Amino acid sequence: MPSVMAYRALAATALVGLLAGCSGGSQLSPSGNIGADSASHQASLASKFGGAGRNALIARINSDSRTAGSYGKPFLSAKSNLMVELNKNAIRASRRHFYPFKKTKPNSTLLFVSDGTTEDIYVYSTATGDVIGTVTGAGGGGIATNVKGQLAAGTINPSTDGGEINTYTVTSDGATANNVTLTLSSGFPDGITYDAKGDIYASDFPSSNVDFFDAATVASGGSATKTYTLPDFEYVYYVQAFGNKIYVDGDTSEGFGVGELTKKGDKVLINGIVDPVEDAGFPGGLVIDSKKNITVDDQYGSIATYAPPYTGSPTHIVEWGFDPNDYTGIALDYLQENVYGVDINFGGSQLQGYPTPFTYPDLVEGSNWQSSGEGPIDDATYLPGK
């Protein structure tokens, strides 16, 4: 197996799910619940958790003030109890159905899904809901595409334990490596986005930093051009561009929130996002449509859309049902007709990952697509010729 398959075996990678569930977002977690992201990612990553930084990272998790109370113990000791509970649930019967576009455009759009367990990128046809290609050993973290047919995929360098982004050119059923590597300043790229200029922004998890790579660096490779620190965020998870504006989600002092990255740091637009049923919030993916409506996934069980100026209740919301599901990343297709969520179903003895479409803007949940991988982290769409 290629060496890149060791990406998430290292401690920094394991933090995407483990530190997130044990500390980030725990302020709003219901008592005794170790978190949607942690619940699913622990099961898929614990066996691979290793590397030189393991003990230091466990110490960091346990020293965080928010691991007290109902959390109280490190994720490794909680894993056995967690799996007993999770294995009582049944995995959904069918994963090969699909929800077609409202405006049919056969074989036009590709959906890329980055899996944190197999560390592959799966390529789906949105016309059939089937896997039509695999980019082996390229996945594991955030993922993004742009209109020029470029694909950026986050990973960990197994030699340095450092976060990286590798770029590719999209093909009809996958992607071809560009042999360009971007190096993060410290953490792991949980979220990645291209802006309108061809620059790349990436979260530097677990921190409140976002790394910026200008278009010249994206073309040639190298270190981050600049690192932004967002003072109103404790951790930044996913990032999304609208033109040349950059939006993020993550943990704020008031819980799960969405903000805009500005020259002065950040401006929180939506704060204290909670799931109406679970009464908790945990950062998932976010997307922005042409009217600047922000759709954000709460990994505790809902996807909601907020209209500018982002105050008040969501304009649309869907309860997708956390436990045994965990939608992590979401992607909006170029036609703005569907939002695609990537689900980790942890209800059985083996994790299952698959995409599920939600019509847009009304967010009606469709049927699951063909299953692939075990722990999808993020997804991105590409419309050839767009």
pLDDT higher than threshold 60 for residue 23 = no
Whose CA is closest to 207, among 224, 229, 240? 229
Instruction: Indicate whether 174 belongs to any domain.
Output: yes
CATH number of 146's domain: 2.40.10.500
pLDDT higher than threshold 60 for residue 299 = yes
More confident residue, 125 or 65: 125
Distances (CA, A) of 41 to 15, 53, 140: 9, 18, 12
Poorest-confidence range of 29-33, 123-127, 211-215, 218-222?
29-33
User: 302 and 318 in contact (C-beta within 8 Å)?
Assistant: yes
CA–CA gap between residue 353 and residue 230 (Å, rounded): 32
CA–CA gap between residue 381 and residue 178 (Å, rounded): 19
Instruction: Indicate whether 241 belongs to any domain.
Output: no
Poorest-confidence range of 67-81, 103-117, 121-135, 146-160?
67-81
Helix (H) or strand (E) holding 148: none
CA–CA gap between residue 229 and residue 382 (Å, rounded): 30
SS3 329: strand
CA–CA gap between residue 265 and residue 262 (Å, rounded): 5
User: 19 and 236 in contact (C-beta within 8 Å)?
Assistant: no
pLDDT higher than threshold 90 for residue 86 = no
Q: Residue 338: its pLDDT value, please? A: 95
Q: Residue 108: its pLDDT value, please? A: 67
Instruction: Indicate whether 194 belongs to any domain.
Output: yes
Instruction: Indicate whether 60 belongs to any domain.
Output: no
Q: Residue 64: its pLDDT value, please? A: 43
pLDDT higher than threshold 50 for residue 255 = yes
What's the domain range around 217? 110-231+314-382
Instruction: Indicate whether 150 belongs to any domain.
Output: yes
Total count of domains within the chain: 1
The DSSP call for residue 21 is H
Instruction: Indicate whether 244 belongs to any domain.
Output: no
Percent of the chain surpassing pLDDT 90: 59
Whose CA is closest to 48, among 26, 16, 20? 16
Structure-block tokens of residue 91: 């995995």
